[in-house]
Structure 1
Amino acid sequence: MKITIVAGARPNFMKISPIIKAIQKRNSLGAAIEYRLVHTGQHYDKKMSADFFDQLGIPEPHANLEAGGGTQAEQTAAIMVRFEKELMEHRPNLILVVGDVTSTMACTITAKKLCIDAVHVEAGIRSGDMTMPEEINRIVTDSITDHFFTTSEVANQHLRHSGVGEERIHFVGNTMIDSLIGNLERLLKPALWDDQNLQSGKYFLLTLHRPANVDDPANLDHLLSTIMQCTGDLPVVFPVHPRTKKILDGIGFNNPKLVLAEPMPYLEFIYMVKNALAIITDSGGITEEATVLGVPCMTMRDSTERPETITMGTNELVGTDPAKLVPYLDKVMSGNWKKGAIPPLWDGKTAERIVSKLEDLYIS
């Protein structure tokens, strides 16, 4: 069995690392699985890419398509043109894509037009928000995928409702949680911890990058002001996403409690997540990590593709109106946040289940 594994952006790396390790483990036990790792280059900033390969023990990619930059259409086109050449030169039995970034969609389309099977890890998740590029990526990818590896029963239901047969839906769990659990003993304290005299459970962690929160300077200013006003004397650590930094620099927001930082490597960032009193974010993946770590999480979005983090976990869907954040911050500050549970199969063994199923499908 020959597999081409695609990684394109920071969220992908945490998802492919356990799969590669599971393949290597099976091969050490006598399996015959060849894999080729292709990095599309969608994220090309070192902090957003290379550090993750180093820290997660991902081997150097066999190919880097260097398709970063440009508009959505330009990036999609560049990935497709370069990935087509890659597949024609190194034709696999299947490609494996993860998540919902542009690379996921672009590479799936390219493979299917070459009559190569596509397997989607983290398939079936939906937010219902068609203004999000990721939602379009999910729908297009899942419309032509051959096999679907899912993280939840909710995702299974979405696929069933779209007409996917049970024989192609494989509920395996969450590979991002494999990476989390596998690295908890390796977390690294970032330099700013001592520089800012941070203490466990005595700071908020903030991440923002979605247009609804950061593109309007007035809205971003209002959101930051609200957070500063409702978090007492506690510091707010804000690793600033590159697209957010441009707007933040423009408004010149300044508050002594706000600790601005560069994007952090994985092991340092998870250290910050694990030790935070609470998290304010518009990321999907962070809500999953917060749920497993039992950390209160507030999502600044109007919808989520990960409802299990709310129905079972420690996450709450706040919305994009800064005023709606106030009662949630009050709950955190008063110690009245809900208790969460860990969703089924989020146990650190998802990648093993994926590789086992692939062997059943393509070798047996």
Structure 2
Amino acid sequence: MAAHRKPTPHPVSGRTALTLALAGAAAATVFEGSGYAEPHLTPAQVKARADRLYQEAEEATEKYNGAKEETDRARAALDALRDEAARRTARLNAARNALGSVATAQYRTGGLDPAVQLALSTDPGAYLRGAALAERVGDRQAAAVGAVQGQLAELARLRAEAAGRQRDLAARQAELGRHRAAVRARIAAAEKLLARLTAAQRAAYDGSATPSAAPSGTAPRGTVPAAGPRAAQAIAYAYGALGKPYVWGATGPSAFDCSGLTQAAWRSAGVSLPRTTYTQIDAGRRVPRSALAPGDLVFFYSGISHVGLYIGDGKMIHAPRPGAPVRIAPIDEMPWAGATRVA
């Protein structure tokens, strides 16, 4: 009889199944996003992560600036080629029209044998003089045909080059879009992190970026003389930019990114600097940190992604990051990369 008894379920198996089912549902909720909780971060950790994101944003900004320069050059080259092709096309059309008129005249008179034309002419002498002229015109016509053929070949070359420039421009624009997206994504991530801070904590974080100003009513001067009058002018411009906002890709006069500020400062002194940090560092003579003079460009991070304008006493004026206006800061607040003396 015992052999035919219905098996009794194990007392744990039902609970186990229920537990697994609940666990699976909970896991599904977590990974769907609504139940996912990001780890708690201290204010110091938030600041460190935000600093890193802003640094990555600045690296992407400098790449964006370089890509924008290349895009602008590619667009200008394409526009120049299109203008030249339009001029060549107009000249070609004029030459074709001239040849067409000659060909029409030849068709109208060329059906008669020259001997018959001479016989029918009321003025054989004039005909013979005209025939000699026609031969010379024929030579010039042949040269005109050759010129048209040359223009056709040149126009085809210009159009092929323009097509290549168009492809290059499209590639540059795509690269520009990638860098723009990278900048925006990192700034948005940094702002999301900083939103975790209290108002007081955020004020303390942004407080390190409070701008400093030169004494009211006096021209800015450091305790160390500038490297020259142009350097002094660049420094004066930078002092005038204190408090203006950081905007990535901006070159002034109302907003700046880091390389945009140094470029604008030196432009005010009549010196043209390249647009990006990694090209500005090669725009002058390298100087060691121990020999810095006001007006020198000072660079930071291993990727040469940040630049400021040295003003003496171990300080610089720079555009730090989004949310932090142009300010005076010590040059030892970031990892040192090098310095360049422009003029």
**Higher share in helix:** 2
Higher relative contact order (CA 8 A, sep 6+): 2
**Higher share in strand:** 1
Rg larger in structure: 2
When the two structures are superposed, what TM-score results if normalisation uses the length of structure 1?
0.19
When the two structures are superposed, what TM-score results if normalisation uses the length of structure 2?
0.20
